[in-house]
Structure 1
Amino acid sequence: MTNFVVNTTAAVALTLMGTASFADSLTTSASATALPTVDKIEVTTELDAVENAEAAKVWANIDDDLTAKLVDRLQGRADTEGSDIVIDIDEVSLASSFEQAVGDEKAYLKGDVVLRNPGPDDNEYYTLTVHAEQAQAYFPDGKVVTDLSTGSRVYYQAMLDAFADNVILNLDKSNLNKG
């Protein structure tokens, strides 16, 4: 089985799809679409970057939750010969008042991303920042950015969705630029 690895202080393997071989069952569709494949996902977070104790509770599972969102988006793309995605969430900056609406420009999720691609010179490095306004597209119908606080589960999930989608978009772009 292919394991996607989450790393906070120790590595924890996430095993997918029960007893079926994840790589075997997913590689076929990845090959058919010519999208890049992924071998490993590693997410680390410095929770010291979260300035508010309540916010730290909301974001406490960010490593596992962001990894799960990436794994969901990479169905059909696991391969032991694929890229590794390494993310270091170096700053989770929430509004200075935790209960403030997320429309504040200080509400964002930022991380350094490394795409370790097969080949000696193909690695890519970038910093990804997702602001609350960008995540609004992931809110349920009827919700707007000013309806939520930074402690909201809807806000948390939307920020992770926006971040994960941008990582996958950049992974796919990197593959297109090589072709």
Structure 2
Amino acid sequence: MGRWEPGARERLVMAAVDLFTEQGYDATTVAQIAERAGVTKSTFFRHFPDKRELLVAGQETLSRLLVEGIAEAPGDATPLDAVAAGLERASTAMGPATRELAPRLRAAVAASAELQERDALKIVSLAAAMTAALVARGVPDPAAALASEMGVLAFKRGYAEWSEGDRDADDELAGHIRVALNELRTASASLG
């Protein structure tokens, strides 16, 4: 594949996940990722500062969509309803390709302490983005932080259920996240 062909960013992510799974994160070089993706090393560095950033490639988009969904929620929405609107918006960015990649990505992260650390930072960043969006709506900080953490937990649970589910099913991520958030609402109400 020539470097002028479209989709270099996506090919780099796929190549990296495959190589991380096959030979481990530490043993994989940027040159190997670029070669597998059919691009040059300089093309790699135009898209990513280092190989660690490949696995959080969509984080900025995900954060932006979460914030937009929260900001556009109806004015009378509860903090959790606003978070649900953000999660709904963010789930639109994840389709069949994401679902197919998820098990390999999970395996690559599980095999590397460095990638586990980066994944944890991603989750913290998403919660912070949602908290800031809720505070901007006038939600007091403790409630905003709690709603955001519940949103992150719902996202993680829904994403895991969706990505581990039947690949031939037409179900969308949003439905799994809604179910997870509703389960968490019920669970939190029972805490007293």
- Normalising by the residue count of structure 1, what TM-score does the alignment of the two structures yield? 0.29
Return the index of the structure with the highest Cα Rg.
Answer: 2
User: Is the strand fraction higher in 1 or 2?
Assistant: 1
- Normalising by the residue count of structure 2, what TM-score does the alignment of the two structures yield? 0.28
